[in-house]
Structure 1
Amino acid sequence: MTNDLLSLSTEEFIGNIEAVARSRFDCGIYPQQNLPAQDWAILVKAGVLLPALPKEFGGRDSHVDICRVVECLAEWNLPLGMYTKTITAVALRPVVLWAGAEAKREMLPSFASGEPMICGFATTEPGCGSAMSSMRTTYEEVEGLPDP
């Protein structure tokens, strides 16, 4: 299955993603709820993770394809587009770009397997923990510091 998706042109690949998004995830009919694992599996089997993965780990290795997948999904279902962007561009792609070789060998083949894998990132901040929406920005003028 994956090899078939790797041999497609970008237009054919995005066309397949668009067909799945239109037929199954149109926000006009798809419930606004947490994404069930079986629905994420449909998208993973369609190849939404492949653009973020290097070719040596079974991916398409294409920043353009990542952007096009997110754009296509967001056109039909904005929350789904954002979910996919978080997994591919915000969480998975940094592993591809900056993780050590051992970490890549351990996790990246799983993401190319067609199984409904997800990844994410975590942050903590003093005063709000992991609830980033609770962060507050403040400004304090300090004498003697140059203007930015």
Structure 2
Amino acid sequence: MISEAHMTWLAQRARAGMAARPAYEGETCDGGTCEGGTCEGGTCDGGAHAASVDDVIHWGTAGGANVLGLTELGRIAPGAPADLAIYRLDDPRYFGLHRPAIGPVASGGRPVLKALFAAGEAVVVDDAIPGLGMEALGREARAAVRALMAQA
């Protein structure tokens, strides 16, 4: 879902950014605004104002739960169902961010999942599902694909 969250953020930036017009050599910025953005080298800031990473995180958590009528989900509070993903933020792609916690959404890619809790139980620890043999799972998946291809 991190890839989808990243793409959502980029798509929102592009939606407003399509109105951006650069200031070419010899032109100056008129100091105006464009759909709520500020002038920086042209007539619009390229859509950065369209949606913040915080907006996208809200849409994917409490906002998404509310849309589905699941008002008890999407928040961290005593007594609330505990579904929580914890990512490592020591990846070099996050080093230049003003808030490293926005890294998984702002920078894209696949962050390392330190832990994932579902209903309060750890289901992923250090980027692996405890007790799941990935090699065996890979063999089973490849065998299933071969069987399907043989039937086709």
Q: TM-score, normalised to structure 2's length?
A: 0.23
Q: Which structure's CA Rg is the greater one?
A: 2
More strand per residue: 2
